[in-house]
Amino acid sequence: MPPLTNGQGALSPRAIPEAAVARLAVYLRVLSGMKEQGITTVSSEELSVAAGVNSAKLRKDLSYIGTYGTRGVGYEVEVLIDQIERVLGLTREQSVAVVGIGNLGHALANYGGFPGRGFPVTALFDVDPDLMGVPVGGIPVNHIDDIASVCAAKEITIGVIATPPAAAQVVCDRLVQAGVECILNFAPVVLQVPETVEVRKVDLAVELQILSFHQARRADSAPSGETAPQPRSNGRVNGSPRHSVENRPNGAVVRR
C-alpha cells in the first residue's frame, strides 16, 4: 500500500473505517465493565469473545488508534479505555438536545447518564404548549421556536429527532440552522441535510422488517410445524469444544 494519501490533508489521525468506529464503542463498554470488576489486563482473545467479534478483527481495530498492547501479555484495560475515549472524542462532553417529547422523547430524556457517561441531555424541545416549562427528567421543555438561542446557550452539539415523521425534516432544518452538526434521527424519514452535517438513523420499523425477513426465510426452508412451540431440545450438542463462540453479522454471539 502506498503511503496512504487519504485526501484529508496530511496529518489526519489515521482514517478509521466507520465499521471499526462502531465496534470501538462496543469495546469501550466491555472494557468499562471489566474495569469495574477490577480486571487490569486483557488479551485480544478475551476481549474479542466478550465483544462478540473475531480476535484478529479486534486487534486490527485497536491498531487503528495506536499501539498500546504488550506482546505476550495483552492490553491494559485503563489505557485502552482512555485511548478509545480519546479517539471517539469523549474527552470533551457533548451536550444533547432531544426534540419531540412523546413517549420516545421521554425515554431519551430519562436516559440520563449513558453507560460510560459523556452524553448529558441538556435541552428538550416540543411544539405542544402544554409541555412548556414542565420538566422531564429534570430538564425543562422549551418551545421549538427557541431552538436557536437555547442550543447556542447550552452549546448543543448533538440533536436527537424523536418527532412524528411529518415534522422530522422541519425539525432537522431548524437544528442545522441552530448550528447542530450531528443528528440522531428516530423518525422513519430520509432526512436531507447539508453535507457538513452527520446523520445517523435508528429505524425501528426497518429493524423489525429485517427480522421478519429472516423469520420468513426460516419458515420457507423448513415448512413443517410453524409456530409449534417445541419444548426446545436446544441441543447444546457440543461437537468441538474449541472456541465456544462464533461471530455473527450483527455482533451477537452464538452460544454452542
Instruction: Using CB under 7 A, list all residues that contact DNA.
Output: 1, 17-20, 43-45, 53-57, 59-60, 62-63, 67-75, 247
- If you write DSSP's letter for every residue of 5-39 in order, what string do you get? --SS-SS------HHHHHHHHHHHHHHHHHHHTT-
Q: Residue 198 binds which entry of a second copy, DNA, none, with Cβ cut-offs from 5 to 8 Å by kind?
A: a second copy
> Is residue 71 a contact residue for a second copy (CB under 8 A)?
no
Nearer to a second copy, 72 or 224 (CB): 224
* The residue to which cell 451536550 is assigned: 95
Q: Which is nearer to DNA, 8 or 177 (CB)?
A: 8
Nearer CB in complex with DNA: 63/215: 63
Output the smallest distance, CB 147 to DNA, in A. 32
Q: How far is the CB of 254 from DNA (least distance, A)?
A: 12
Q: Give the nearest distance from C-beta 72 to a second copy in angstroms.
A: 27
- Whole-angstrom Cα distance, residue 130 to residue 128? 5
Which of the choices DNA, a second copy, none does residue 43 contact, using the CB cut-off of 5 to 8 A by kind?
DNA
The annotation status of 101 as a binding-site residue, yes or no, is yes
Write the single-letter amino acid at 208: L
**Contact between 172 and 161 (Cβ < 8 Å):** yes
- Residue 183 has which C-alpha cell? 443528528
- The 10 Å Cβ neighbour count of residue 92 is 7
Residue 58: partners with Cβ closer than 8 Å, 6 or more residues away: 23, 27, 44, 47, 48, 51
DSSP structural state of residue 145: G
CA 148 – CA 5 distance, rounded (Å): 38
Size of the residue set binding a second copy (CB under 8 A): 101
Of the candidate residues 39, 107, 134, 170, the single one contacting a second copy (CB under 8 A): 107
Residue selected from 119, 122, 124, 175 as contacting a second copy according to rule CB under 8 A: 119
- What are the CA-CA distances from residue 245 to residues 25, 127, 171, 205 (Å)? 21, 49, 44, 29
| Residue 165 binding: pick among a second copy, DNA, none (C-beta 5-8 Å cut-off by kind) | a second copy
Instruction: List, in order, residues 6 or more apart from 24 with CB less than 8 Å away.
Output: 16, 61, 65, 84, 87, 88
Decide whether 60 or 106 has the Cβ nearer to a second copy: 106
Region near a second copy per CB under 8 A, out of 56-64, 74-82, 138-146, 181-189: 181-189
134 binds, among a second copy, DNA, none (CB under 5 to 8 A by kind): none
Which residues line the annotated binding site for NAD(+)? 100-105
